[in-house]
Amino acid sequence: MTFLPKPKLHHPKLPTNTVGLTRRDYEGAISTLCAGCGHDSISAAIIQACFNLAIPPHRIAKLSGIGCSSKTPTYFLGAAHGFNSVHGRMPSVLTGAYLANRDLIYLGVSGDGDSASIGFGQFAHSMRRGVNMTYIVENNGVYGLTKGQFSATSDKGSVAKKGAVNADQPIDLAAIAVQLGATFVARSFSGDKEQLVPLIEAALTHQGAAFIDVLSPCVAFNNHAGSTKSYDFIREHNDALNKLDIMVNRDAITVSYAPGEVTDVMQHDGSVLRLRKLHEGHDPTDRASAMHHIMERKAAGEIVTGLIYVDPEPTALHESLGTVAAPLNALGDSELCPGVDALAKVNASLR
Amino acid sequence: MPQPLIATNDFVVKFANVNGSGSASANGLFAKSILRMGVPIASRNIFPSNIQGLPTWFEVRVSEAGHMGRRGGVDMMVAMNPQTWDRDIAEIEAGGYLFYDSTRPMPKSKFRDDITIIGCPLTEITNAAYSDPRQRQLFKNIVYLGALSALLDMEVEAVQHCIAAQFKGKEKLVPANYAALEMGRSWAQANLQCPIGLTLKRADKVGDRIFVEGNAAAGLGAVYGGATVCAWYPITPSTSLAEAFEKYCTRLRKDPETGEKRYAIVQAEDELASIGMVIGAAWNGARAFTATSGPGISLMQEFLGLAYFAEIPAVLFDVQRAGPSTGMPTRTQQSDLLSAAYASHGDTKHVMLLPEDPSECFTFGADAFDLADRLQTPIFVMLDLDIGMNDWLCEPFAWDPNRRMDRGKVLDAAGLDAAQNFGRYQDIDGDGIPYRTWPGTHPEKGAFFTRGTSRDRQARYTEEGAPYVDNMQRLLRKFETAKSVVPRPIMRAAKEKARDGVIYYGSTSAAMKEALSALEAEGVHLDALRIRAFPFHQDVADFIAAHDRVFVVEQNRDAQLRTLLMNEESIDPAKMIAVLHYDGTPITARFIQAAIADRASAANVLPFRKATP
């Protein structure tokens, strides 16, 4: 129902953030997804996170592939440019956009079909390349837009709405992101706003490849008994690692947290991730133990959520390439064209 | 025994070598030394898809008259590869010359009696002079270069100059190479009849021309054209284009203060990711390109439809090779025309530029970025292996110091403030080209959703028929506009009024010029039109209309340009006669001349032929 514009009127007393915008300024068009879709909760969490961080919306570029999840960028950040690209190919388009202008914030939205099947290769390579982005997979374990086929993240033994049983092993995108060198990996649940919003904020401030796998039940095709991506199943099997608070640029935000089990992780940009650990022994800055923890809990039938891994000093692609600080798309003739004298030298060298 | 061939500054020498034996460097010295004597050459590598061990050839056509195409035939064979001996010997023209390593005796049956046989014990000479096996192998190449310099009467100073230039920065290697050169030269002078009938003589026919491969030229063109993002995946024969871009950027595009790069090059995981990155970068305001070959274009099809429909200014260099499938990856063809022109599903058409030599690769390589921005659509620069991977003697690169990048219709923040009701896909100027704006430009205005799905003039999603048709019609108008901004075809009129014409393009140009002169000498007069871009300029239809018949000369099996002409200009197929060369070797003047002469004379006698009973 995108043809129905949202009313532009705001309540005069809506709270504003430090750039003078209200939460409504971060909204997009009205969603055309099914009522109760987990993806809409994720859109709401993205809106909340961007509002909380007071990011001017036009400084974000939102990119997606194809599928239900990839439609959602229309439903948030209406003042930001968006690119709804090709199925499974958001990572490469986002990589190119990031190469062109390192000053914008890149938000990639994808789904389990988009990232774990057709675009598995692009997902993998964008992680290992260190593209500075927030990459969110809205993972419902099903092909929604084509009406209910299994996806590559569907659990082995899970039952489709029409009764078929999935015999294939599932792909755990978060585990793979850890293994491939992503410098921020988290998992959450669309129905857990309290956990999801701070994770998105932390990912947006992370200066490297940040990946969040968000379990997001499909109300139309995958929210029934037998599904391992239903609201009930996830609520029963959710095993949260930690609770996250984020303090941007070491702002003195006071938070309530349980004493004893607190870890502060300062990121490269100065923001502090304060983790209230629920699990003994999980060190989110240790890649090997993060992998181990995911595998161990999975064997116990639990889905690990929270901040799984973070490298507080990531190296982003522009740094490894050694490009200039100015965005490449802002360079002009004098900086790009070597001129006639240089050409005369080239000609001379070819005689 | 026929009379041995006698020629000065006009003959073909072919080297038959084993890949990885170090011969390429010596053969290159041979070619450059002749240029140094002021005599034009056209040289071509014929190489396998292999790093070491398989046969490879290097052909040098010496042509004081300046013919840069392949002539066909070999006047002197330097046969250094036993694997290909029989076919190499068979290829020599009657009266020609064979130069070979005579260290081991060969049975008489292995030779021909209608050629001059020149044996030189290269292995014996190098084994006596060197103990290290690697040195024996490498210097053997320089020793034969020395022998050839005596046999062909080359100026030894020219060869020495080229050796010194080759080892610039590694000067301590120069004396050893001079010694090996002299070893071969003095042996030949003492033991062989020098010179033979084929000789070189200093001339002044090279002028200020440069000797360069098309891929390097196109890579440099991308630097001058302002490209900042290159995403690519290695594929023969395009790899050296991306590598040249990197080489020239390293030299010309670093911040002089900080050493930081004003460019980003990413070797992607595949061609899909390459074109995806190019599209993302171009959407976000950078000038971006990829370099690939036919199989890469096939993989990029889906993305190319997106770029066409979403109107993204991407540049693609397609260095064509022989297809289909893996085909002959190290052999040349012009066989991607149709797959590039109509790339992707749905109704699409793409702009193609068709350079004739490295000089034009540079010019078109830079122009492509202006055209992409101006037209907001993918631009294909169609090289082929012959232009891309061979050094060509061509006009020096030229650049207008007053030239500035044409970024096309891009609105900045002030432009968005001034614009009334900005809509990404509105045709304000009637040329089919809308205005665009880059992400991050304005806090409140101009944001829109780029997508491959149908949308209205305001970039709003719609699946309604009328706005879809409206948009598709505008894209056609834009394609019409393209006809007036792409490079115009170049006409070469026959000396006498001609009823027939010939159309050609790309690397065929060199052989075509020579064939036209030869045909003219036979009394066959043809007007010729070199097409330099698609969509076709009005001149093309006018040219075809002005002639009874038009030969269309190309290097593919299916007459792809002829098909494009039929399809886009509604031309009667009977009027266009295909002349096709597609065995993977570059087309020759002899081939074109024979093919056209045959058909031209057949047509002339036709009216007088009696009906068969």
Q: Which candidate in B228, B290, B402 is best for mutational testing of the A interface (most A CBs within 10 A)? A: B228
Residues of chain B contacting A331 with CB distance shorter than 8 Å: 226, 228, 262
Are B184 and B120 in contact by the 8 Å Cβ rule? The answer is yes
Q: B262 and A342: CB-CB below 8 Å? A: no
Residue in A15, A32, A12 with CA at minimum distance from that of residue A23 = A15
Average pLDDT over residues A3-17: 75
pLDDT exceeds cutoff 50 at B407? yes
β-sheet bridge partners, residue B353: B381, B533
- Please provide residue B192's backbone torsions phi and psi, each rounded to the nearest 5 degrees: -120, 160
pLDDT for position A276: 66
In tens, the pLDDT along A278-334 reads: 676 778 899 998 998 888 888 888 888 899 999 999 999 999 999 999 999 999 999
The answer for A 75-104 residues in CB contact with B (under 8 A) is 78-86, 89, 91-101, 103-104
Domains and CATH numbers, chain B: 7-199 (3.40.920.10), 212-394 (3.40.50.970), 413-485 (no CATH), 490-608 (3.40.50.920)
Dihedral sign computed on CA atoms, order B539, B541, B543, B545: negative
Between chains, do B447 and A122 touch, taking CB under 8 Å as contact? Answer: no
pLDDT range class, residue A260, cuts 50, 70, 90: very low
Domains and CATH numbers, chain A: 23-347 (3.40.50.970)
Each as own residue / partner, the long-range contacts of residues B19-24 (CB below 8 Å, 24 or more positions apart, any chain) are B19/B47, B19/B48, B19/B50, B19/B51, B19/B52, B19/B53, B19/B54, B19/B55, B19/B56, B20/B51, B20/B52, B20/B53, B21/B80, B21/B137, B21/B141, B22/B137, B22/B138, B22/B141, B23/B56, B23/B58, B23/B80, B23/B141, B24/B56, B24/B58
Q: How far is A258 from chain B, CA to nearest CA, in Å?
A: 40
- Give residue B160's pLDDT: 97
Under an 8 A CB cutoff, do A84 and B440 touch? no
Distances (CA, A) of B95 to B7, B11, B58: 11, 12, 21
Q: What is the rounded distance in angstroms from the CA atom of residue B223 to the CA atom of residue B31? A: 28
Half-sphere exposure of B213 (CA within 13 A, CB side): 23
> Cα B302 to the chain's mean position, in Å?
26
Contact A99 B453 (CB under 8 A): no
Per-residue tokens: A245: 């608070």
**Residue A333 touches chain B, beta carbons under 8 Å:** yes
Is the Cβ pair A331, B212 closer than 8 Å?
Answer: no
Tokens matching residue B98: 């064979």
Find the helix or strand (DSSP H, E) in which B283 lies: helix B271-283
Which residues 11-40 of chain A have a CB within 8 Å of chain B? Answer: none
Collect contacts of A191-195 with beta carbons under 8 A, ≥24 apart.
A191/A38, A191/A41, A191/A217, A191/A231, A191/A234, A191/A235, A192/A238, A192/A305, A193/A41, A193/A44, A193/A45, A193/A48, A194/A243, A195/A240, A195/A243, A195/A244, A195/A305, A195/A306
Contact between A322 and A316 under an 8 Å Cβ cutoff? The reply is no
Distances (CA, A) of A268 to A98, A272, A322, B2, B167: 19, 9, 18, 82, 47
Chain A residues within an 8 Å CB radius of B345: none
A82, A103, A324 ranked by CB distance to B262: nearest: A324
User: What confidence score (pLDDT) does residue B122 get?
Assistant: 97
| Across B517-543, average pLDDT | 96
Q: Are the C-beta atoms of B428 and B435 separated by less than 8 Å?
A: yes
**How buried is B33 (Cβ within 10 angstroms: 0-12 exposed, 13-18 middle, 19+ buried)?**
buried
CA distance linking residue A210 with residue A203, whole number of Å: 5
CA distance B86 to B250: 46
Contact A93 B268 (CB under 8 A): no
Closest-CA distance of chain A to residue B566, Å: 33
Q: State which residue of chain B sits closest to A323, comparing Cα positions.
A: B261
- Token digits of residue A176: 């793979």
Whether the pLDDT of residue A172 is over 80: the answer is yes
- Distance, in Å, from the CA atom of B311 to the CA atom of B171, rounded to the nearest integer, reads 53
Hey, is B548 helix, strand or coil? coil
Assign residue B162 a region (left: φ > 0; alpha: ψ between -120 and 50; beta: otherwise).
alpha
ipTM of the complex in this document = 0.94
Which of these, B398, B366, B359, B399, lies nearest to B225 by C-alpha position?
B366
Contact B443 A61 (CB under 8 A): no
Q: Do A340 and B399 touch (CB under 8 A)?
A: yes
Residues B311-322 pLDDT 10s: 999 999 999 999
Predicted pLDDT at A154: 86
**CB half-sphere exposure, A347, CA atoms < 13 A:** 17
Q: Looking at B43-52, B67-76, B98-107, B139-148, which range is the least confident one?
A: B43-52
Give Cβ neighbours of residue A281 (< 8 Å, ≥ 6 apart): A289, A293
A257: exposed, middle or buried (C-beta count within 10 Å: 0-12, 13-18, 19+)? middle
- Average pLDDT of chain B, as a whole number: 95
**Closest residue of chain A to B314, computed from CA coordinates:** A96
